Structure formats: C-alpha cells, structure tokens
Chains A and B, each alone.
Chain A
Amino acid sequence: MSLRTGRTARAGQYAALLCYLVFLAFPFLWLISTAFKPARELGSLHPTWIPEDPTLENFRQAFDEQPLLRAAANSLTAAVCAALIAVVIATPMAYVMARHRGRLSTAATGWVVVSQAFPFVLVIIPLFLVLKYLHLINSLWGLILVYVVWSLPFALWMLAGYVRAVPPELEEAAAVDGAGKARILVSVTAPLLAPGIVATALFAFITAWNEFFFALVLLKTPEKQTLPVVLTHFLGAEGVADLGPLAAAAFLATLPSLVLFAIIQKRITGGLTAGAVKH
C-alpha cells in the first residue's frame, strides 16, 4: 500500500485517518472534560468541550462518596498477586508447550483455545460452589485464584512465543558443555526470557485490574470489592448518577492500565508482527 499514490488518494487517506482519530478520541476526551467540570457546568443544558472553570472538586467528592482508596488497594493486591503467581506457574508450562511435542502440550494448547469460548456463566456457577466449599467467597484470595487461572491462557500463549524465540542451539551448547537440565533452564533460558516474562506479568496485571464479572459475583461486602465493582456504585439506583465524581473516579481507575499498556504496547504489537514475519 505504500506505493506511489495519487494526490487525491492521499488526501482521502488523511481525511479517513482524521475521522478515525476523532471517533477513537472523543469519548475519552469527554470523560476527561467531565471529570474537571464544576457541578454548575455539568447542570448546564449546553455542555462545552473545555471546562470554563476547571476544578478538582469532583475528585475530592469521589473519594468522599465511595471507598476508592480501599477499592484501589484491593484491586492492586488482586492484580499483583494474580500476575506474579500466573507467570511463576505459567513459565515452566509454556516452556513445555514450546519445546516438547506430545499429548501433554497438545492438550495444553487445546485448553488454551477452548477456554476462549467458555461463556463465563457456565464456569462461574460451579466455580462459585467450589470456592464456597473452600470458604473463599468474599475473599480476595478466592478472586486471585480465579484471576490466575483466567489469565493463564494468554500468559501461556505469550510465554510460549517468547520461548520459541530462544534458539534451542543455545541450550544444546550448554548441554554439550556439561550443564544439567535445571542449570540450563535457570542460567541460559530464564535470563533470555526475562523481558517476555515481565511483559506477560504486566499484561496479566492489566487484565486482573480491569476485570469485572468475577469480582461482581464473588465479592459481597464493600470492604472487599475491587475498583470496577465500586465504580458501578456511583451509578446508583435507576441510573441516576452524580456525573462529576463518576467521571473523576472512572478516569483515575483507568490511569494505571493505560500507563502500563503504553509501556508494553510495543511488545504486544511488536511481538505480534515479529511472529507473523518469517523467522
């Protein structure tokens, strides 16, 4: 497509790109604009893009209305623990999926694919009963367990890709030098995988930070609830909402995943394209 293109075609392309930019950006800009508007402006029948009298009042009010700090702490705990546990247990399995052929890795790959099609409702009811049996309802640990398993398919897939990128010749050379299997994994393979493991962990973190459905079902009391669940409390009954604090809280809840995503974005899209191009 990067062939010499006519001037009109070029102009058309830029016009189309501009439409996309507007479409993609405007809801987000509106969220930010609403978050910084004083109540008086939000009540006006003719809203404007730029707040005439920008204020941080909505943020203060948001923290007053809902236990945002505790919710953020809960989300952080759940997401960090889930991400760490997920990469720790997924890395060895991903290694097997990438390096071995056999029933085990076929079954693992099959599970990764099939798990994408589960409607959560078929899983959540029995999961609810299992966790109830383990006394892990309304407990962050129960949620962490669910998040670990829930982020595994993608973690396995990403990590298996990173393992494949490590040339087996390196491991073979170390074996020739007399290193044992465990030694090779720890001192040859693991360091080369480190950036991939970090990217996978960050991705698992974002997934858990953003998750809503399991948290809604499994966490009953406000002290235990995570940020996405607490955000819905702003909506109140019958959809009547205090727009300013709602926008402020929603904006804050997005920042961590936006920042992390910006950091690993290149790895995700880059890894994607690298994988698509011939080795």
Chain B
Amino acid sequence: MTLATAMTRSGRKPRQGGRGEGRRGGGAAWFLVLPALIPILILSVGPLLYGIVLAFTDAQSGRTRSPQWVGFLNFQDLLHDTLFWDSFRIGLLWAVGVTVPQFVLALGLALLLNANLRMRWLARALAIIPWAMPEVVVGIMWRLVYNPDAGILNETIRDLGLGDGRDWLTGLATALPAVILVGVWAGMPQTTVALLAGLQNTPHELHEAAALDGAGAWRRFRTVTWPAIRPVALAISALNFIWNFNSFALVYVLTSGGPGGRTRLPMLFAYEEAFRYGQFGYAAAMGCVMVAVVSVLLAVYLVGRLRGGEDA
C-alpha cells in the first residue's frame, strides 16, 4: 500500500536513470534479473494468467476431476447475481467515499505541514502512525472506539449532550459511513506524504512573485500550488481509488461485511465465494470484472504519470 509515494515520485522525473548510456540489456542484465524474474513469473504473472483462465471454467475447491471449460457461463451468472452487484455498488461507494475526503484532508494537512508552523514535527510523527499499523490492528482499534458501551465515541457524544450514541458498526444506516471514516483515517498518511513531496517541489519564487502581484492565498493556491501538484494529486487519487476498491482486511475486521451485507465489499464477497463456498471459477470471474474496472483507473493514473514527466 505504499507504492504510491515512490511511484508519484517517479512521476516527477521518470527519465533520470541511464544518463543517456542507452546500453541494452545484454547477457549480464539477464543474469542479474533472473533471481527475481523466476519467482515473479511463477507466483505473480503465472497465477494472474491462470486466474483469467479459471474464470472460464467450473473450478471448485476439493473437486478431484479437472475443471471443465464453461465459456462465459460464470460471467452470465454474475450478470444476474444481485448480491454481486450490491457488493459492486458498495465497493464503488466505499472507494469514492474514502478517496475524496482522504484527498481533501490530506491536502489540507500537507499544506499545513509545508507551512512554517511550530507543532509540525508532532503532526508529521502522528501522521505516520496509521501507515505503520497493521490493518487488522487499525480495525480492532476503531472497534474499540465505536464500541457502543465502552467506546470513546459514544461517551463523547453523551458528554456533549448530543444524545445517547448508537451502535455504529451494526446499524444498517451507519455501518458504511462508519467504516468509510476508518478508511479515510488509515489512508491519510500516504496521500499526505505524496502531496507534501509535490508541494516541496513547487518553486518558492513563484509564490513570492504571485504575492508581490497582490494575489491572495486562494489565488496563489489556484495559480501556483495546484498546477504544480496536479500530476501527483491525480496519480495518488487514482491509486487510492484502486487500492480502496480492492481492500479487504480493514472491513473484514470491522464488520465482516455486515450488517446484512451493507459493507460487503467486492473483495469480501469474492473471498466468501472462493474460500467458504469453494466456487473458484466464479470468484475468478469476479476478479476479472474487478480488474476491468480498475484498469480504466490505472489508465488515468498512467496518463497522470506521463503528464508529470512532461512537467518535470
């Protein structure tokens, strides 16, 4: 979950390697690449292609005969599977619901951290915590916060006289917003750090010139800051959307997809199909549909990266 930062960095200056040597990868290069290439082919590229093949078969767990080719049957079934479309819709809601506020909050924090404020070392240190924590612990931690009786959230609500509080994670209406808030919290650091890197790349002289011309803070942000960080912003948002759409552990720990499937993200649904009901072929077809959706966004991200290269 941490590649965005490094990748957006590369988005800034993609062609500084090689220094125009233009050497082609000869025998030595192959020799150096081989130790990593073999596991990649066996455990990443291979399974990915195999997964696409499985989507066209009736593969099930524990079945002894080899899977039969069934063509597009799994995809036809998916088309009529209302539970899948529910989870798909929830996945999109969740991904947008997390990515957008996360971006806005992270941008605010990055701007503050970039300003010359006194407590910013503390904020920097704190902003790292969600990044370093295991997702499972983040989920457990927020369950303690949301706990209807012993949790701090309801106690604060009671103290402020805002009512009795409620059972956030099991309420039909509140479960999805509650997990979205956790998603926003958990993913803020990466986004903040990426945006901060973009901000620190903004030429200081431009700000001063704009200020001398009498531009206000908002005007300076729009005409100087935003154009400078736009490629990073686009890239990190696209990646965040993809990662959120594919996320699993956080919601698995918080609600396991409940109540009544209100937080059942596509990954949770596919996981159940594959490893509880053993429907490997069907779950693989879901994976294919998810890849298709995500590819569109990956394209957006790549365009952002290329743009970033031109700007640099």
Contact = CB atoms under 8 A, between A and B. Distances in A.
Q: Give the secondary structure class of A's interface.
A: helix
Interface in A197-243: 203, 206-207, 209-213, 217, 227-228, 231-232, 234-235, 239, 241, 243
Contacts of B10: 157, 161, 275
Nearest to B274: A125
Interface of A: 1-3, 5, 9, 13-14, 16-18, 20-21, 23-28, 30-31, 34, 42-47, 49, 88-90, 92-93, 95-105, 108, 111-127, 129-130, 145-146, 148-149, 152-154, 156-158, 160-161, 163-164, 168, 181, 203, 206-207, 209-213, 217, 227-228, 231-232, 234-235, 239, 241, 243, 246-247, 250-251, 253-254, 257-258, 260-262, 265, 268-269, 271-273, 275-279
A99 B137 contact: no
Interface string B296-312: 01100010000000000
A14 to B, nearest CB: 7
Nearest to B287: A122
Interface in B108-160: 108-109, 111-112, 114-120, 122-138, 140-145, 147, 149-152, 155, 158
Nearest to A101: B18
Given A47-B150, A217-B275, A253-B134, A101 B22 contact: yes
A122 B290 contact: yes
A21 B16 CA distance: 37
B73 interface: no
A229 to B, nearest CB: 8
Interface string B36-50: 110110111111101
B13 interface: yes
Given A47-B151, A228-B136, 19 more contacts: A1-B114, A17-B123, A18-B119, A25-B129, A30-B141, A99-B23, A100-B25, A101-B18, A117-B246, A119-B267, A119-B294, A125-B280, A126-B54, A154-B3, A227-B134, A235-B140, A268-B2, A272-B194, A277-B200
Contact of A1 (B50, B132, B134, B207): B207
Contact of B36 (A13, A105, A152, A168): A152
Contacts of B13: 275-276, 278-279
A127 B43 contact: yes
Given A246-B140, A276-B197, A265 B287 contact: no
Given A130-B42, A158-B6, A209-B134, A24 B123 contact: yes
B144 A130 contact: no
A211 B105 CA distance: 26
Contacts of A168: 19, 21
A46 to B, nearest CB: 6
Contact of B43 (A93, A149, A268): A149
A238 B78 CA distance: 29
B50 A154 contact: no
Enumerate the 5 nearest inter-chain pairs by beta-carbon distance, A residue then B residue, closest first.
A122-B287, A261-B132, A92-B32, A210-B134, A126-B50
A119 B207 CA distance: 41
A235 B243 CA distance: 25
Given A2-B116, A30-B141, A125 B134 contact: no
Given A117-B295, A157-B10, A30 B18 contact: no
Contacts of A122: 48, 51-52, 284, 287-288, 290-291
B294 A181 contact: no
B12 A46 contact: no
Given A117-B291, A154-B6, A253 B137 contact: yes
A276 B96 CA distance: 28
B35 A28 contact: no
A117 B298 contact: yes
25 contacts: A3-B211, A13-B115, A16-B108, A31-B137, A31-B144, A47-B155, A88-B35, A90-B36, A92-B35, A100-B18, A111-B40, A119-B246, A121-B270, A121-B274, A123-B48, A125-B54, A126-B47, A126-B54, A130-B43, A181-B28, A232-B253, A254-B132, A260-B132, A269-B196, A276-B197
A130 B133 contact: no
A24 B18 contact: no
Contact of A247 (B109, B135, B144): B144
A24 B283 contact: no
A92 B36 contact: yes
Contacts of A93: 32-33, 35-37
A124 B51 CA distance: 8
Contact of B16 (A14, A113, A164): A164
Contact of A121 (B19, B123, B204, B267): B267
A167 to B, nearest CB: 9
Nearest to B136: A228
Contacts of B7: 113, 116, 157
